[in-house]
Structure 1
Amino acid sequence: MAGKRSLTNAHLKSLLDHQDLESLERQLTPKTSPPAKHYLPHSTVSQRRVQRFWKGMGKAPHPDLLDDWTSANAESFDGNIENCIGSVKIPLGVAGPLRVNGLYAQGDYPLPLATSEAALVASYHRGACMISAAGGCTAMLLYQAVNRSPAFAFDSIISAGRFVVWAMESFEQFQEVANGTTNHGKLVDVGTTVEGNHVYLNFEFTTGDASGQNMVTIATQAVCDFIESNCPVTIKQLYVEGNLSGDKKASAQAYTSVRGRKVSAEVLIPAHILKKYVHTTPKQMTDYWKMSAIGGVLSGTMGVHGHFANGLAALYLATGQDAACVAESAIGVTRFELTDDGDLYASVSLPSVMVGTVGGGTGLPSQKASLELMGLYGSGHSGALAEVCAGLLLGGELSIIAALATGDFTRAHRKLAR
């Protein structure tokens, strides 16, 4: 990682204004005395254990972290957190409703968004209302797959090649072992990457209505155990994840294929609706989009879009998704076109939306309530949730690009932000 001379010097000056290098070195030296006293870990959550943990920290429970409701309902968090001491409250707003005409999502959906960023809900709200006024967006879930990539080390590339031959011949057995660990997931494919004497197997699963990271990890571990016991080639090292899956990070692999749910949405916005809702024209929108698209390319972003992470993070927090998966989910492409009739065509494509309507945090009380508000809690609704995500982000792109194209962006934040 590189730093410019001016920034480096400014930082050094701020450090050395009040202390010398020797004192800084002492500050950075490891200190083992007195030894740190670790908290005693707890995986089970109950009212009694929460109180005990506060006592173990030597602190009184803070009423803003351990309020009466959280204390009384502590058991509802069991299985979702360790060392529980309470809950954090994030403001929840609602945008929309958003009309979606999808393969799975049909109707008008309220959009619960948990955020502390002023202007975010307002922006997504006007985008959703504009889409709904145009008759709604068309959305299509295209693919679903969640992958896990175990890695194997051998003594030579020859052994690695022999392993790949055996692994391809054994895939049906891998499927049987993996599918025996879950009633919902299915091992459907495997890719191979050979790098010298290392091999990565990229297992792809369908995961039903769950987001599925834990599901595919458990299934892959079972396959790795089978491989370790039955492989005719000596394996020097084996890891259940070799960091090729793209889990919780933006990757070119996910961008060009799929991780989670691949979904696309489009809408045709007549010029008069743009004028009414965002005070702009289709030409202003497409002119700004063209310039911002090149800016994204020049900066090296994964895909071209305005702010996918904003809407996804807020919806993920509200509905109990794995918030860290925003890292891989918030990649994709926004595209605007001026039609022959002078209207605006807009679309978004997202290859890696990691969402579920069962499992994980979706069963937590507040998050379950948010999904129920949308009518999307439980089995049979994950495809609809993915399509709603695409519609939400489409609305967000329309709104932010309109704000930037007209100069309203700064004014909105000055008006709404603290």
Structure 2
Amino acid sequence: MKTNIRSSRIGGFHKLAVDQRVKAVAEFAGLSLDEQAHLLNTGNLPSDMADHLIENVVGTMNIPLGIATNMRIDGLDWLVPMASEESSVVAAVCNAARQCYDNGGFVTSMSGTLMIAQIQLVGVRDPEHARIRILERKAEVENLCNECDPILVNLGGGFRDLEVRVLKTQSGPMVITHLIVDTRDAMGANAVNTMAEAIAPRISEWTGGQTNLRILSNLADRRLARARCIWRTQDIGGESVRDGMISAYHFADADPYRAATHNKGIMNGISAVVLATGNDTRAVEAGAHAYAARKGHYGSLTRWEVTAEGDLAGSLEVPMAVGLVGGATKLHPTARIALKILGVASAEQLARVIAAVGLAQNFSALKALATTGIQKGHMALHAQNIAMMAGAVGEEIDHVAQALIQAGKVRLDLAEKALNDLRSR
């Protein structure tokens, strides 16, 4: 059982240098000198930069960066960086893309680059009239919003529309104002939040009510990335495989318990590219899952059908609030290199590539489930992780992993035994 050797109330912890914070944490948790040195080795992210990205930094958490190959999107070939700690994610995208490459690969599109800022108004006795009074001020709202970010306006972005809803809640009616803003190549959180802050006091003046929350919505349903692809039946193993995949999709679309894992698989691919490019994985994931439940039932983000020619057609439509400017996308050196490898020219193009990766990921998961089962391929890669956990190094890793695969059981105790047997030869 853990016993504290000192209080967690460390005065001025945020003011300490990184090495001093590590020392304080080491005293609290009993970290060895080797463990402290490990934390202080921040890899390819300088510790001073890490210290400015988040608070109370004591180290970095390195995640493997892989490359998805075979990706043909909108007639062009791409190498797509993916950051993930989970086995088989990158391989799944590569395999799915390979099986549709000769048939043209993926086709993508985007609904636009619009984001929504919400302003909550309470305490008005005439909410319907308040709604109209706000809408009457649309021109004034536009001017105030655009004054907040003239650079964005010069780049072709800025205020686009005004929406106002009366929302019935447990606290009584609320008047919710939506500022619709084109954020162009930025994800846009800072831009739209600033606009909401500027507009909120005016709404109070116009209506006599009280404005509370002023914040963007991560349900970015005005910023939908779409991807579609056709896999020829003969390229994926025949009609039985195709029909099994369709059945698996129908299961996911009907049952939230299956849909949760189905969509998690899609996000394995999407989040890996979002993270690799320094974008906000939590925002994208929140938007995706909210979008999957937008009709009152949580179902599949993808759609799967059989074409008139008998081939398998898949499509994905998902909110994709990502950017190329601001935040870690410009600051994190690995994110900058990942974007250079990718070679996208705009946030819209990045979003479209990410959607194609999500569709590819879902294809591989459905095919594995409909044929050999998800464990065969996944556990083959997972066996290497277990081998390393057992202490295998270098060439030992592959030897131990292969022994686990041949035994059909990927367990730590068996890996330790296989490693001992290998070393005793």
Q: TM-score, normalised by structure 2?
A: 0.75
Q: What whole-Å deviation, never above 9, does each CA across 1:80-113 have from its counterpart, x for those lacking one?
A: 3222222110111111131110xxxx52111211
Which residue in 1 is equivalent to 2:131?
164
Which residue in 1 is equivalent to 2:288?
329
- Higher fraction of helix: 2
Which residue in 1 is equivalent to 2:329?
362
Deviation at 1:39, TM superposition (A): 5.1
Distance 1:153 1:340, change over 3 A: closer
Q: For 1:406 and 1:338, how far apart are their aligned partners in 2? A: 18
Q: For 1:42 and 1:226, how far apart are their aligned partners in 2? A: 37
Which residue in 2 is equivalent to 1:372?
340
* Amino acid in structure 2 at the alignment position of 1:299: P
* Amino acid in structure 1 at the alignment position of 2:22: W
* Amino acid in structure 1 at the alignment position of 2:280: D
Distance 1:36 1:398, change over 3 A: closer
**Equivalent of residue 349 in structure 1, options 306, 314, 317:** 317
Which residue in 1 is equivalent to 2:414?
none
SS of aligned partner of 1:321:
coil
Q: For 1:366 and 1:381, how far apart are their aligned partners in 2? A: 18
* Amino acid in structure 2 at the alignment position of 1:234: G
Which residue in 1 is equivalent to 2:231?
269
Which residue in 2 is equivalent to 1:49?
17
**Equivalent of residue 222 in structure 1, options 198, 218, 230:** 198
Deviation at 1:302, TM superposition (A): 8.2
Which residue in 2 is equivalent to 1:410?
375
Q: Which deviates the most, 179-188 or 333-342?
A: 333-342
Is the CA contact 2:18–2:51 (under 8 Å) kept in the aligned structure 1? no
**Equivalent of residue 103 in structure 2, options 130, 134, 137:** 134
Which residue in 1 is equivalent to 2:56?
83
SS of aligned partner of 2:40:
coil
Distance 1:166 1:340, change over 3 A: closer
Which residue in 2 is equivalent to 1:96?
69
Is the CA contact 2:203–2:211 (under 8 Å) kept in the aligned structure 1? no
* Amino acid in structure 1 at the alignment position of 2:308: D
Distance 1:96 1:324, change over 3 A: same
Q: What whole-Å deviation, never above 9, does each CA across 1:371-402 have from its counterpart, x for those lacking one?
A: 111113xxx41111111011111211221111
Which residue in 2 is equivalent to 1:178?
145
Deviation at 1:272, TM superposition (A): 3.1
Q: TM-score, normalised by structure 1?
A: 0.76
Say if 2:120 is the partner of 1:146. Answer: no
* Amino acid in structure 1 at the alignment position of 2:235: I
Q: For 1:260 and 1:65, how far apart are their aligned partners in 2? A: 41
Which residue in 1 is equivalent to 2:91?
122
Q: For 2:327 and 2:380, how far apart are their aligned partners in 1? A: 37
Identity, in percent, stands at 23
Say if 2:354 is the partner of 1:399. Answer: no
Q: What whole-Å deviation, never above 9, does each CA across 1:210-268 have from its counterpart, x for those lacking one?
A: 1111221112111113334xx24322453214xxx643xxxxxx4xxx43621222222
* Amino acid in structure 1 at the alignment position of 2:362: E
Is the CA contact 2:277–2:329 (under 8 Å) kept in the aligned structure 1? yes
* Amino acid in structure 1 at the alignment position of 2:78: Y
Q: For 1:41 and 1:67, how far apart are their aligned partners in 2? A: 20
Q: Which deviates the most, 77-86 or 310-319?
A: 77-86
Distance 1:295 1:139, change over 3 A: closer
Distance 1:118 1:36, change over 3 A: closer
Distance 1:234 1:373, change over 3 A: same
Deviation at 1:153, TM superposition (A): 1.0
Q: For 1:267 and 1:155, how far apart are their aligned partners in 2? A: 50
SS of aligned partner of 1:407:
coil
- Flag structure 2 segments of 5+ consecutive residues without an equivalent: 1-5, 28-32, 293-299, 386-425
Deviation at 1:290, TM superposition (A): 3.1
Q: For 2:98 and 2:67, how far apart are their aligned partners in 1? A: 12
Q: For 2:308 and 2:264, how far apart are their aligned partners in 1? A: 25
Q: For 2:139 and 2:177, how far apart are their aligned partners in 1? A: 14
Q: For 2:222 and 2:36, how far apart are their aligned partners in 1? A: 38
SS of aligned partner of 2:375:
helix
Give the alignment's Cα RMSD to 1 decimal: 2.9
Q: For 2:256 and 2:377, how far apart are their aligned partners in 1? A: 26
**Equivalent of residue 187 in structure 1, options 159, 163, 169:** 159
- Flag structure 1 segments of 5+ consecutive residues without an equivalent: 1-33, 248-253, 275-279
Say if 2:67 is the partner of 1:109. Answer: no
* Amino acid in structure 1 at the alignment position of 2:267: A
Which residue in 1 is equivalent to 2:254?
297
Q: For 1:210 and 1:36, how far apart are their aligned partners in 2? A: 38
Q: What whole-Å deviation, never above 9, does each CA across 1:10-61 have from its counterpart, x for those lacking one?
A: xxxxxxxxxxxxxxxxxxxxxxxx9751453649xxxx83234334546578
Pick 1 or 2: higher relative contact order, CA cutoff 8 A, min separation 6. Answer: 1
Distance 1:232 1:356, change over 3 A: closer
Q: For 2:277 and 2:379, how far apart are their aligned partners in 1? A: 29
Q: Which deviates the most, 311-320 or 181-190?
A: 181-190
Q: For 1:392 and 1:234, how far apart are their aligned partners in 2? A: 49
Aligned length: 353
Q: For 2:130 and 2:183, how far apart are their aligned partners in 1? A: 27
Is the CA contact 1:311–1:392 (under 8 Å) kept in the aligned structure 2? yes
